[in-house]
Amino acid sequence: MRIGFLQLRPRFGAVKENVRKAIALLDQLSDATVVLPELFNTGYLFRNEEELSSLAETIPGGYTVSEMQKLAKKRQLNIVFGMAQRYKGAYYNSAVCVTSKGKIEVYQKVHLFDREKLFFTRGKSFKIVSTEQAKLGLLVCFDWIFPEAARTLALGGAQILCHPSNLVLPYAKDAMKTRCIENRVFGVTANRIGSERRGTMFLSFTGGSQIVNPAGDVLASASDRSESLRVVEIDVGEALDKNITTNNNLFEDRTPSLYKALVRKRR
């Protein structure tokens, strides 16, 4: 199967422009599973909840998901992308998967980063999407720093970690290689580039999107400067083999009974 990423430089608040650009770039591609950045349609640095409210969309029913669904069907793509979701009076930083067969699945980010905690509600469960080719485990950006998130998805059968991101810390790409090695899965981190200055706030995003195999090898990567679409062919069956040596199986050798925290009573 073919997996890839689309690294983008969204313009804050310009939803139609951002979505149209992504669609124009993806319209060159067919028969692939492709990952886009976190919040790719809105940009990242919301100043307040009103701003988020004016840009968040419902799933399904909103502009972004409708347009991505049309493209997924037309080009036979499974597309994973990040967007702000309005759901039951709250806002979620969500990863959406629209499949070539018309399915829509949503994962609401569990581990919110920094100011995201001011406006977004934390998700309550992880999500694996079954497509015809593979089981996809959805993560959003800062989930990378919690090994339990990738482990939970891998134990649930995920073969590819799909990881829409707006990375600002320098360690995530190396950590994702480790997440792939320790779970023997593929990983696609789709990051964004550029920066956002909103009032007194400023963030610069690190690019370097990458596709990693279960041995931790980088199969494709992007620079930190340019928008970029990369796709590689993989044998996703490699992610089913959890043996590290003849005598070591990553999942069978786990010892969960010893993994309980040594809790010290707080005074």
Near ligand ACM by CB under 6 A: residue from 141, 212, 222, 229: 141
Please check whether residue 235 is in contact with residue 215, taking contact to mean a CB–CB distance below 8 angstroms: no
The nearest distance, CB 120 to ligand ACM, in angstroms, is 10
From the number of C-beta atoms within 10 Å of its C-beta (0-12, 13-18, 19+), residue 117 rates as: exposed
Asked if 166 touches ligand ACM (CB under 6 A), the answer is: yes
Site string for ligand ACM, 6-45 (x = CB under 6 A): --------------------------------x-------
Structural element, H or E, at residue 163: strand 160-164
Taking the least distance from each CB to ligand ACM, the nearer of 12 and 142 is 142
Instruction: Give the β-pairing of 32-35 and 77-87.
Output: parallel
Q: Dihedrals φ, ψ of 41, to 5°? A: -90, -25
Q: Per the residue annotation, which of 109, 127, 135, 177 is the catalytic one? A: 109
Contacts for 246 with CB less than 8 Å, ≥ 6 apart: none
Asked if 145 touches ligand ACM (CB under 6 A), the answer is: no
Instruction: Return the amino acid letter for 19.
Output: V
Near ligand ACM by CB under 6 A: residue from 25, 104, 168, 175: 168
Taking the least distance from each CB to ligand ACM, the nearer of 93 and 99 is 93
Taking the least distance from each CB to ligand ACM, the nearer of 23 and 145 is 145
The nearest distance, CB 253 to ligand ACM, in angstroms, is 31
Asked if 113 touches ligand ACM (CB under 6 A), the answer is: yes
The nearest distance, CB 113 to ligand ACM, in angstroms, is 3
Site string for ligand ACM, 206-245 (x = CB under 6 A): ----------------------------------------
The nearest distance, CB 72 to ligand ACM, in angstroms, is 24
Determine whether 141 is an active site residue: yes
Determine whether 127 is an active site residue: no
Contacts for 197 with CB less than 8 Å, ≥ 6 apart: none
Q: How far apart are the C-alpha atoms of 136 and 130, rounded to whole Å? A: 6
Q: Per the residue annotation, which of 57, 67, 141, 227 is the catalytic one? A: 141
The nearest distance, CB 109 to ligand ACM, in angstroms, is 8
Label residue 20 left, alpha or beta by phi (over 0 means left) and psi (-120 to 50 means alpha): alpha
Q: How far apart are the C-alpha atoms of 262 and 214, rounded to whole Å? A: 31
- Strand-pairing partners, residue 35, are 5, 80
Contacts for 22 with CB less than 8 Å, ≥ 6 apart: 6, 8, 36, 40, 41, 81
- Point out the residues that are catalytic: 38, 109, 141
Chain residues that interact with ligand ACM, rule: CB under 6 A: 38, 113, 141-142, 166-168
